[in-house]
Amino acid sequence: MTRTRIKICGLTREQDLDFAVQAGADAIGFVFYEKSPRHVSPLRAAELARRLPPFVTPVGLFVNASDELLAEAMAALPNMLLQFHGDETPQQCERLARPYFRAARMSPGFDLLDFAQQFSSAQAILVDAHVDGYGGGGKVFDWSLLPRNVPSPVVLSGGLHAGNVIEGILRARPWAVDVSSGVEEAKGLKNPLLMRQFCEAVREADARLEDAG
């Protein structure tokens, strides 16, 4: 079976990035949204990303970003995946000619299949809780809202931590999981033990799925 990929988002410190990589993260997220407590500048993100080993991918999170910010960030991190969490249209995402994820804010009545079809050029659809403002706010949404036949890889996000990610993987069968507040000791400050426990829980979920056949 394919193992569940792990993205740890909202990194702001060198030691946190190093511990995230050691714990087993496949991707590291940098937040380029100024209203977030986890915000970093493109220059700071580039400094951090230089510590990444091969095959660990930097991901940039944007919310209705200006062309200037997008250009600056893409120049600073040329191998960065883009992750859009605002009101970006398919055309706005595609015109940058970079691989991208598109975040979907899950709530009753939201048509994820139609959303995924609109953003069929996205490498994945990241599903998050619907809260006021942008981002999931560390909240878990109702995983039963997820249809089984989403035509794109699904990244499960929203309030995940070591205590619930196994259930989330077993129920949603996502291609990847994305965690931020669930591995923090304070906003923007990651905890090494929580990151390790989270990654171990993901591997435990994969083992259970493999045993189940």
Catalytic sites, residue numbers: 9, 128
Q: Which of 27, 59, 62, 40 has its CA nearest to residue 135?
A: 62
Strands (E), 117-183: 124-129, 154-156, 176-179
Structure letter (DSSP) for residue 113: H
The C-alpha atoms of residue 85 and residue 83 are separated, in whole angstroms, by 7
Q: How far is CA 184 from the centre of its chain?
A: 15
Residue-wise DSSP of 79-120: TPEEEE-SS--HHHHHTT-S-EEEEEEE-TT--HHHHHHHTT
State the burial class of residue 50 (Cβ atoms within 10 Å of its Cβ: 0-12, 13-18, 19+). exposed
Neighbours of 133 (CB within 10 A): 8
The length of the chain, given as a count of residues: 213
Amino acid at 5: R
3-state DSSP percent of the chain in helix, strand and coil, to 5 = 35, 20, 45
